Chains A and B, each alone.
Chain A
Amino acid sequence: DSGVTQTPKHLITATGQRVTLRCSPRSGDLSVYWYQQSLDQGLQFLIQYYNGEERAKGNILERFSAQQFPDLHSELNLSSLELGDSALYFCASSVAEYMGNEQYFGPGTRLTVT
């Protein structure tokens, strides 16, 4: 158990809809990272927040957004969903501000768009 929690574990929704994925980092970690893992694209870094502020952006679509709240939990919002958004979404946390340190991954949320 990494100490990172993600909810929900599974999510099934229809195209065009909007969903919110939630992540709670390990106690003491200030950085939260979001990743998308799909069969065709592999593991893709989406975005990082550190202590409430955006720190780094990866291959995140404009339809996706994220935020980190004062209690350090984070939410990833996915809107106007398409079939191709079906994937595993992982959250990771680390104590450091920059990405060079090890990260601790949550169990993931499996999103299925029908």
Chain B
Amino acid sequence: AQSVTQLDSHVSVSEGTPVLLRCNYSSSYSPSLFWYVQHPNKGLQLLLKYTSAATLVKGINGFEAEFKKSETSFHLTKPSAHMSDAAEYFCVVSQLDTGRRALTFGSGTRLQVQP
């Protein structure tokens, strides 16, 4: 079975400082991994995805994530936070599970950006 753990439920940073949102997964097979962002009262939007190509994945709005198989991690980073980055972020893992593709969402990390 697969699972995904977002290690922080809340992260607070100052505008202009780096962002790190942590995600660990467990998976029996090579997974596909995604980060989605949800702004207040909005649906989820895809930030980036990893599908066994380059381990460093670049997404929209300056975000990137690195797939580290040895650490089973897929942490999301951004060099400099902007006020508009304040939102909830979800790490998602997709893999074959008993012959079917299954999608598992992390519990989410709420990012606050202080002026």
A interface list, Cβ under 8 A from B: 2, 4, 42-45, 56, 90, 92, 98-100, 102-108
User: How many positions in chain B have a CB within 8 Å of any CB in the partner chain?
Assistant: 21
B46 at the A interface (CB under 8 A): yes
- Say whether B44 contacts A105, CB under 8 Å: yes
Q: Which residues of B contact A44 (CB under 8 A)?
A: 105
Q: Chain B nearest CB: distance from A76 CB in Å?
A: 15
- Say whether A100 contacts B43, CB under 8 Å: no
16 intermolecular pairs with C-beta atoms under 8 Å apart: A2-B45, A43-B105, A44-B105, A45-B103, A90-B43, A92-B43, A99-B94, A99-B101, A100-B32, A100-B95, A102-B49, A103-B44, A104-B46, A105-B43, A105-B45, A107-B41
Q: Which residues of B contact A100 (CB under 8 A)?
A: 32, 51, 94-95, 101
Q: Chain A nearest CB: distance from B92 CB in Å?
A: 9
Evaluate whether A99 and B102 lie within 8 angstroms (CB atoms) in the complex, with A42-B107, A43-B90 already known.
Answer: yes
Q: Which residues of B contact A108 (CB under 8 A)?
A: 42-43
B100 at the A interface (CB under 8 A): yes
- Say whether A2 contacts B34, CB under 8 Å: no
**Nearest B-chain residue to A108, judged by Cβ:** B43
How far apart are the CA atoms of A107 and B51 in the complex, in Å?
26
- Say whether A45 contacts B43, CB under 8 Å: no
- Say whether B43 contacts A99, CB under 8 Å: no
- Which of B32, B95, B105 lies in contact with A45, CB distance below 8 A? B105
How far apart are the CA atoms of A90 and B36 in the complex, in Å?
14
Evaluate whether A56 and B101 lie within 8 angstroms (CB atoms) in the complex, with A42-B108, A100-B94 already known.
Answer: yes
How far apart are the CA atoms of A74 and B44 in the complex, in Å?
19
7 tightest A-B CB contacts, nearest first: A105-B43, A99-B101, A98-B101, A105-B44, A43-B105, A99-B103, A100-B94
